[in-house]
Structure 1
Amino acid sequence: MIKYLFRLILLFAFTAFVGCNSVSNNTTTYFGGKIINPKSNHVVLYSMEKVIDTLFLGKDNKFLGKIENDNEGLYYFIHGNEKQHVYLESADSVMIRLNTWDFDESLVFAGKGAERNNILIDCFLEEENDKKLFYEYNKLPPIKFKEKIDSLIDLKLNTYKEYIDKHPKETLGFKQTLKTALTFPIYSRIERYPILNVKYTEDGNFPTLNKTFYNYRNKISIDKDSLMYYPPYSKYIRYYLYNKTYALGHAPIKNKYSSEFTVDLLNIIDKEITTKRSKNAFLRQTIISHFYNKSNCELNTKAFNTFFTLTTSLEDKELVNKLIEDTKAITTNNYLPNFSLVNYSNTKLQVFDIVKGKNTLLFFWNPKYVSRSYIIPRINYLSKTYPNIKFIQILIQGKKGDRIQKLDIKNQFYLDHNSEAHKFLTSKMPRSILINKQGKVINGYGSISPKNLEPYLKKLSKN
């Protein structure tokens, strides 16, 4: 009830806001609103991966942007470390109101085009709540699981029908987006079920499924570039591709992906995804994420060669080539070079002056690839779990004042342009390097997330 009251209030606020800004052209698309407790001075609007506009906050933390050459469809906006989607049509005037302390839950839309966006955010929040159901559903045998799922899909389709009946003039594009928002999170759960159900089986094998278990696949398309940046759709495609790869005969994977699995998954992507943009995106995401999942310097030559054969993106090839060369530049059992870095008092230091003969994990990060909200809990967890290891965060590139506010500033540094470290960070992608007290590399290319790094940390913390 409170949220709907906010929507009503925002509608009046929108009218006043638009009036004050003299927006009268009814063929132009506008996007604006108000940010409470802002995390930065701007909002960035995207269409797929392309930046449409950077909208700066003005008086009272309000912003307003006019979209030129607008196309109907899903856009997304980023403020601070948070991201959310908005569906825009020509001549829309969509205003948002949100509080960054409770970003998604507080987000409401008003103005022309608001109703379709309010139902989309409601779908997002319902999907978050549905997660709790599946902790129990995944323990069920296939028949019982499918009964629960079918019942849930019926509810989602009823919601879709009720909305469309009340809004018969909605475009085909929005109808497809709404149906995706409602049903694809459920389809994702079906694709994930065999993988998650394994840990509840006595023999550790995948459950036996009947022929109708995946019947819904016949009704949907997996080749819509316009939805590839929409999480309900992209997550489903990812789970579908992994499930199809497991179906080739691979056993459940508990830790790192085998070379054979990665190669088969890359070939499945090539076979199943026909649009060039989406295929290249999935190929890139797969080869990089599987490399990080290993959390060591081993190079899966066959998988990388398969990637280079299948992708048509020269940019992606260059990125992955740099990743390979970076891996070769710092290897296990060799000494780390004594490169320079700068602290947030603007003092230039050498890395071994900071490490001071302690077991250390150096985490090189780049805001282009990893967010502070991802780094903070992981570093805090690792620091508490392994108190005998020093954890250092080093910004690869960005503004020198761009530190992580909720982590100890004494453990944060950045690289200037002349640092020798850039020689093993040419890809500019995140990298963890674990060294012992003598400065010898124990692990040259780890991720701070996968469990595969923790055995190295446990062993080092005892020495």
Structure 2
Amino acid sequence: MTKNVILLFKISLFFFLISCNSSKKNNKTFFGGKIINPKSNEVILYSMEKVIDTFFLDTKNRFIGKIENANEGLYHFSHGDENQYVYIEPEDSLMLRLNTWDFDESLVFAGKGAERNNILIDCFLENENDGKLFYRYNKLPPNDFTNKVDSLLSVKMDTYNDYLKNHPNETLGYREILKTALTYPIYARLERYPYINAKYTKDGNFPELSEAFYTYRKSISINKDSLMYFPPYSRFIRNYLYNETYALGHPPMKTEYSAKFTIDLLKTIDKNITAEKTKNAILRQTIISHFFNKSSCNLDNESFSTFFKLSTNKKDKELITSLVNDVKSVPTHKRLPNFKVTNYNNTTHEIAEIIKNKNTFLFFWSPEYVSQPYIIKRIKYLSNNYPNINFIQVKIDGVQGDRIQKIDIKNQYYLKSDSDAHQFLSSKMPRSILVNKQGKVVNAYATISSRNLNPFLKELNEN
């Protein structure tokens, strides 16, 4: 443990909790703390994807709440656009302190249940640091890579055993979480090694691996449904599924996944993941992420058809159907359909007049799918690199007066419910449309986060 908790809290409610009459057994579970430089007025606690409770900050940026009928297990909390995991047991009085300017690095716990959560945060931060090591390790030949990994796993298991030696009463549930937090990020990197290493070889081919390379697979499970929401585990599962799909004979993919790879990956998911809810979630994430990564309006019908055959989730199918219909609603090489947008002075304009004689990047967004800080970061980066393009942000839904701070308000609009733009935004998912000076669409479904967007922007910027 590297965190110093001596000077953590001056929160009166916390001292109230720990100073209760010791003659009475505390059978209540509390969660609270203090947020420095808060980004909102609330902290939301989740179990998996279910909201457990919302705690509001007081005038001193503190919060405290009681968790009714708390079950032991992994939870996560969110504040603003950040989130982190906590392990809670009944009768815990878990208090946190963090500074949003340095969210994860500043996060520290005190109170009953603190030690087990502080070491989980240490695991998280150490895993980020391990990423720097693997930047070098991934370039090594297989035997050297394996030796490095074995040494690192040995260190992780020493940490695990030392903690349990000093905390022998930890539950089996927590032991599993701690071991997962320490080791599964390494397993995930083992699964990722072949297609990362291929990028550094002269021939661009996968390295030759012995059967012993994946020996660790014999001692783990890929179907622990209770862990699917825990990032160390879910990242491993994702890398494992991709690796298994590559093993079917696909060459390394550099810029985007082929249609055949996407189809085989969907089938690999269906074959390997047994829990229906988890399987559906991974199928949905895969079909969306592969389409978005292309950053073009080209639809691969067979990939989408495979998704519809394998998924059993009605809402997911409706979402993907809306996405497909949205793509087809705006053809390339034709004039952008006209529609009305409203600025933050509540004045309505036609989009045709806003983009007239300008190379334009129209970014449609919803708070449900993309955060404002991310938009700020990407729009600033893109506008600096492509100065001859007019970047316009259009909010699909949400609070109409909630504009994006730190971006020129003159380039921000929102859609009223009667705008014709909703006809091609039915999925509510983020969408970018590139339009040239002649008002013609050059890319009808670009993705702001994809590197494959850059060639389209470069060409538009130069014309």
TM bucket (normalised to shorter chain) is: over 0.9
SS of 1:8's equivalent in the other structure is coil
CA distance in 1 between partners of 2:420 and 2:18 (Å) = 55
Superposition deviation, residue 19 in structure 1 = 6.6
**What corresponds to 2:284 in structure 1?**
284
SS of 1:212's equivalent in the other structure is helix
**What corresponds to 1:307 in structure 2?**
307
**What corresponds to 1:390 in structure 2?**
390
Superposition deviation, residue 112 in structure 1 = 0.9
Maintained 8 Å contact 2:2/2:122: no
**What corresponds to 2:15 in structure 1?**
16
Q: 1:97-246 counterparts in 2 under 5 A?
A: 97-246=97-246
What is the TM-score of this pair, normalised by structure 1?
A: 0.96
Maintained 8 Å contact 1:395/1:415: yes
262-271 or 396-405: which moved more? 396-405
CA distance in 1 between partners of 2:322 and 2:21 (Å) = 50
Structure 2 unaligned segments of length 5 or more: list them: none
**What corresponds to 1:272 in structure 2?**
272
CA distance in 2 between partners of 1:338 and 1:44 (Å) = 40
**What corresponds to 2:351 in structure 1?**
351
Maintained 8 Å contact 1:11/1:111: no
Maintained 8 Å contact 1:223/1:274: yes
Please list every run of at least 4 consecutive aligned residues from structure 1 whose deviation after the TM superposition is greater than 3 angstroms.
11-15, 17-25
CA distance in 2 between partners of 1:11 and 1:178 (Å) = 26
Maintained 8 Å contact 2:342/2:348: yes
Maintained 8 Å contact 2:14/2:95: no
Superposition deviation, residue 298 in structure 1 = 1.4
CA distance in 2 between partners of 1:404 and 1:73 (Å) = 36
Q: Which amino acid letter does the alignment assign opposite residue 433 of structure 2?
A: I
Superposition deviation, residue 401 in structure 1 = 2.6
CA distance in 1 between partners of 2:222 and 2:318 (Å) = 27
Maintained 8 Å contact 2:396/2:415: yes
Superposition deviation, residue 458 in structure 1 = 1.4
CA distance in 1 between partners of 2:8 and 2:59 (Å) = 17
**What corresponds to 2:319 in structure 1?**
319
CA distance in 2 between partners of 1:291 and 1:61 (Å) = 41
CA separation of 1:80/1:15 partners in 2, compared to 1, >3 Å: closer, same or farther? closer
SS of 1:66's equivalent in the other structure is strand
**What corresponds to 1:61 in structure 2?**
61
CA separation of 1:58/1:12 partners in 2, compared to 1, >3 Å: closer, same or farther? closer
Maintained 8 Å contact 1:358/1:437: yes
CA distance in 1 between partners of 2:271 and 2:418 (Å) = 45
CA distance in 1 between partners of 2:284 and 2:41 (Å) = 32
CA distance in 1 between partners of 2:21 and 2:390 (Å) = 56
CA distance in 2 between partners of 1:279 and 1:2 (Å) = 38
**What corresponds to 1:363 in structure 2?**
363
* Identity across matched positions, percent: 63
Superposition deviation, residue 16 in structure 1 = 2.1
Q: Which amino acid letter does the alignment assign opposite residue 406 of structure 2?
A: K
CA separation of 1:402/1:12 partners in 2, compared to 1, >3 Å: closer, same or farther? closer
**What corresponds to 2:94 in structure 1?**
94
**What corresponds to 1:27 in structure 2?**
27
Maintained 8 Å contact 2:34/2:63: yes
Superposition deviation, residue 404 in structure 1 = 2.1
Superposition deviation, residue 353 in structure 1 = 2.4
What is the TM-score of this pair, normalised by structure 2?
A: 0.96
1:422-458 CA deviation, whole Å, 9 max, x = no partner?
1111111000111111221111111012222211111
98-107 or 414-423: which moved more? 414-423
CA distance in 1 between partners of 2:244 and 2:397 (Å) = 38
Superposition deviation, residue 12 in structure 1 = 6.5
Q: Which amino acid letter does the alignment assign opposite residue 9 of structure 1?
A: L
**What corresponds to 2:50 in structure 1?**
50
Superposition deviation, residue 93 in structure 1 = 1.2
Superposition deviation, residue 59 in structure 1 = 2.7
Superposition deviation, residue 371 in structure 1 = 1.7
1:374-428 CA deviation, whole Å, 9 max, x = no partner?
2222211211111111111111111123222222222121111111111111111
CA separation of 1:338/1:130 partners in 2, compared to 1, >3 Å: closer, same or farther? same
CA RMSD of aligned residues (A): 1.8
336-345 or 239-248: which moved more? 336-345
Superposition deviation, residue 2 in structure 1 = 8.3
CA distance in 1 between partners of 2:291 and 2:257 (Å) = 9
CA distance in 1 between partners of 2:385 and 2:169 (Å) = 56
1:141-180 CA deviation, whole Å, 9 max, x = no partner?
1100110000000000110011111111111111110001
SS of 2:391's equivalent in the other structure is strand
CA distance in 2 between partners of 1:210 and 1:311 (Å) = 35
Maintained 8 Å contact 1:334/1:441: yes
Q: Which amino acid letter does the alignment assign opposite residue 33 of structure 1?
A: G
Superposition deviation, residue 121 in structure 1 = 0.4
Q: Does structure 1 residue 37 correspond to structure 2 residue 32?
A: no
Maintained 8 Å contact 1:334/1:440: yes
Maintained 8 Å contact 2:39/2:79: yes
409-418 or 263-272: which moved more? 409-418
Aligned length: 461
Maintained 8 Å contact 1:270/1:310: yes
Q: Does structure 1 residue 335 correspond to structure 2 residue 348?
A: no
Q: Does structure 1 residue 375 correspond to structure 2 residue 375?
A: yes
SS of 2:211's equivalent in the other structure is coil
CA separation of 1:218/1:11 partners in 2, compared to 1, >3 Å: closer, same or farther? farther
**What corresponds to 2:426 in structure 1?**
426
Superposition deviation, residue 17 in structure 1 = 5.3
1:186-235 CA deviation, whole Å, 9 max, x = no partner?
11111111111112111110111111101111111111222111111111
CA separation of 1:204/1:72 partners in 2, compared to 1, >3 Å: closer, same or farther? same
**What corresponds to 1:409 in structure 2?**
409
